[in-house]
A and B are shown apart, each in its own frame.
Chain A
Amino acid sequence: IAGITQAPTSQILAAGRRMTLRCTQDMRHNAMYWYRQDLGLGLRLIHYSNTAGTTGKGEVPDGYSVSRANTDDFPLTLASAVPSQTSVYFCASSPDRASYEQYFGPGTRLTVT
């Protein structure tokens, strides 16, 4: 089934630990995005990639890094997790940066203790 997969589904992480959230899409979309969802704040863009090999910073990039080695994968890394990074993380994709519709994955629930 075409779409976006994210792993893990949920994770409890000790503060200070490093964590990589995985995102893979099989729609051959060029643009990919990472959002965090917090109650009352909606979804906020962390990082994005318009095409393989390029990345950009979103609204809340501090404490996060991304890479885009190929079209399908867009991992998000927390180098040293802090409790304020407790959130639900969504990966999304769109055919290209000119496309308006974004397709979202099922999310990763992360708790940093």
Chain B
Amino acid sequence: QKEVEQNSGPLSVPEGAIASLNCTYSDRGSQSFFWYRQYSGKSPELIMFIYSNGDKEDGRFTAQLNKASQYVSLLIRDSQPSDSATYLCAVITSGTYKYIFGTGTRLKVLA
């Protein structure tokens, strides 16, 4: 059973701090990794994807991938109250069309 694990939270951080969200996956054949943000009552929004080991930065967001440890993370710098949402981690394995999602981590940024 291929799995993606996330801490459900809530993860509470003060405004302006760095929020660190973590995700582990079980399938070593996983090829691409995605982070989604989902506000309450809304559909998931893709914010980052990564497929190479290392860091990928986009504005205040940095995705980090370590395939040896089967670990992917999302850092949010200068966290804002508007970043308060549930963050979903997803992976896809080479040769398949199915995305495996974690259950999400709820982030609360305190003003």
Q: Do A and B come from one complex?
A: no
Interface residues of B (CB under 8 A from A): none
Interface residues of A (CB under 8 A from B): none
